[in-house]
Amino acid sequence: MSKEEYIKEAEESIVHTYNRFPVVFDHGKGVYLYDLDGKKYLDFAAGIAVCAFGYQNEEYNECLKEQLDKITHTSNLFYNVPTIRAAARLKKASGMDRVFFTNSGAEAIEGAIKAAKKYAYTRDGHAGHEVIAMKNSFHGRTVGALSVTGNEHYREPFLPLMDGVKFAEFNSLESVRALVTDRTCAIIFETVQGEGGIYPASDAFMQGVRKLCDERDILLLLDEVQCGMGRTGEMFAWQHYGIKPDIMATAKALGCGVPAGAFLLTEKTAQKSLAPGDHGTTYGGNPLIGAAVDKVLEMMERDRITEHVKTIAAYLEQKLDELVAAYDFLTERRGMGLMQGIVCEKPAAEIAAAALEHGLVVITAGGNVIRLVPPLIIEKEHVDEMVKKLKSVLNEE
């Protein structure tokens, strides 16, 4: 079948919830993708910050193949070695104490919210607690995750959602403080807002919210689904700030392509939170996923991926700043590590579409931001190639 025939079949068979680019990718190698016609694309999207090691990593692939030949699923009624090993590595990387594996970031957020509510229920002996979330945030598309997503565009068709959620201004401690009541059980936000436009939390905000939570026995719940797993130059973005959350959600690069997510708790939180029967999952943390997560974390630690990210990110930031200075319609660069955004006065979606014609994959955020979340293994030569291709696109605008 031709590309056009495959696209026609997809449009007739798959629920139309995505306005997909007219490209059918066939395979990848390193930091490049190839379509059905063999055209080569430099990938600066990584499957939306998922494919940290790029494509066809032999060590990762062999690990999955070996596990496929053993066992892929047993259910959580039994123990399995790969997931036990993965949990130990994840605890070490994060400094957290308890792990619950899920199938996605949205599921991790759902579980994290339940954990926070159960903590407050155990502490106070009653339900009816509230959560403070942030405007301009994005936490997923399930009902619970959508309930704490501060963007009406995503929420409006599905109202009413979970009640007891209030929205504060991101990076405004006073805005958060004004919403706190005796019913507040958790404050949730992305350490770096992703879909909302690539906005990192400020030091003052992060440390101020942490102090507020400590004073009121409120749980700090950080969403690291996109910004975690080494992307900002630390394994988790909150590690830049000298604080620690009570609950953390992660996913995306946790499995580097297989559907893996997790939420993690401190021991103090876990002791008053989820107990047998409170939460569960059929597929979460099965042996295949456990093997993938274990291998990803092993490779990230052994290869010192965060040090590589810091080095390459400094070069990327320099080149992006030069790009912004060269074009009047590019107004700002913001981000952390290899999670960067370029604010654009022209439609970012049109630029992303045009980039594909030049063999470059980028995505958007917040409507007017060109989002760059490449594989973490990129080198300076790939940054230079990306800039050259992007300039070709921008010169046509």
Region 316-345 average pLDDT: 98
Q: Is the pLDDT of residue 283 over 90?
A: yes
Question: Percent of the chain scored above 70 by pLDDT?
Answer: 100
This prediction's pTM: 0.97
User: To which CATH superfamily is domain 3-56+304-394 assigned?
Assistant: Aspartate Aminotransferase, domain 1 (3.90.1150.10)
392 and 325 in contact (C-beta within 8 Å)? no
Query: What's the pLDDT at 63?
Result: 98
SS3 167: strand
Give per-residue pLDDT as tens, 12-23: 999 999 999 999
197 and 366 in contact (C-beta within 8 Å)? yes
Give per-residue pLDDT as tens, 217-267: 999 999 999 999 999 999 999 999 999 999 999 999 999 999 999 999 999
- Architecture in CATH of 70-302: 3-Layer(aba) Sandwich (3.40)
**Distance, CA of 224 to CA of 237 (rounded, Å):** 7
Give per-residue pLDDT as tens, 140-167: 999 999 999 999 999 999 999 999 999 9
184 and 132 in contact (C-beta within 8 Å)? yes
pLDDT-based confidence at 339, cuts 50/70/90?
Answer: very high
Ranges of CATH 3.40.640.10 domains, the chain: 70-302
Is the bond preceding residue 259 a cis peptide, omega within 30 degrees? no
**Distance, CA of 143 to CA of 114 (rounded, Å):** 13
Beta-bridge partner residues of 263: 100, 249
220 and 173 in contact (C-beta within 8 Å)? no
Query: What's the pLDDT at 367?
Result: 86
358 and 376 in contact (C-beta within 8 Å)? no
Q: Is the pLDDT of residue 317 over 90?
A: yes
Query: What's the pLDDT at 319?
Result: 98
Give per-residue pLDDT as tens, 285-299: 999 999 999 999 999
Query: What's the pLDDT at 44?
Result: 98
**Distance, CA of 372 to CA of 338 (rounded, Å):** 7
Q: What DSSP state is assigned to residue 9?
A: H
Place of tokens 């199938």: 103
Place of tokens 């999207």: 45
Q: What DSSP state is assigned to residue 201?
A: P
**Distance, CA of 190 to CA of 177 (rounded, Å):** 18
Give per-residue pLDDT as tens, 259-268: 999 999 999 9
CA 21 to chain centre: 21
Q: Is the pLDDT of residue 397 over 80?
A: no
CA 297 to chain centre: 16
How far CA 155 is from CA of 138, 141, 146, 220, 352, in Å, comes to: 10, 9, 6, 23, 25
**Distance, CA of 285 to CA of 84 (rounded, Å):** 9
Ranges of CATH 3.90.1150.10 domains, the chain: 3-56+304-394
Give per-residue pLDDT as tens, 342-381: 999 999 999 999 999 999 999 999 889 999 999 999 999 9
232 and 266 in contact (C-beta within 8 Å)? no
Query: What's the pLDDT at 142?
Result: 97
Which is it for strands 165-168 and 339-344: parallel, antiparallel or unpaired? unpaired
Residues 7, 11, 13, 19, Cα dihedral to 10°? 110
